[in-house]
Amino acid sequence: MFKSIWRWLRKPSASISAGAILIVGAIAGIIFWGGFNTAMEITNTTEFCVSCHEMDQLVHQEYKASPHYNNPSGVRAGCPDCHVPRDWGRKVVRKIKASTEVYHALLGTIDTPEKFEAQRLVMAERVWKEMTDNNSRECRNCHSYESMAFHKQTPRSREKMEPAMTENKPCIECHKGIAHKLPIVPRDD
In a domain, 35, yes or no: yes
Residue 149 sits in a domain whose CATH number is 1.10.3820
Q: Which of 112, 100, 104, 107 is nearest to 57 (CA)?
A: 112
Band of the pLDDT at 21, cuts 50, 70, 90?
confident
Q: What is the pLDDT of residues 121-136, one digit of tens each?
A: 999 999 999 999 999 9
Q: What is the pLDDT of residues 33-49, one digit of tens each?
A: 999 999 999 999 999 98
- The pTM of the full predicted model, rounded to 2 decimals, is 0.77
Q: Cα–Cα distance between 49 and 155 in angstroms, integer?
A: 37
In a domain, 187, yes or no: no
Give the model's pLDDT for residue 110.
86
- Residue 60 sits in which domain range? 20-173
The dihedral region occupied by 149, where left means phi > 0, alpha psi between -120 and 50, and beta the remainder, is beta
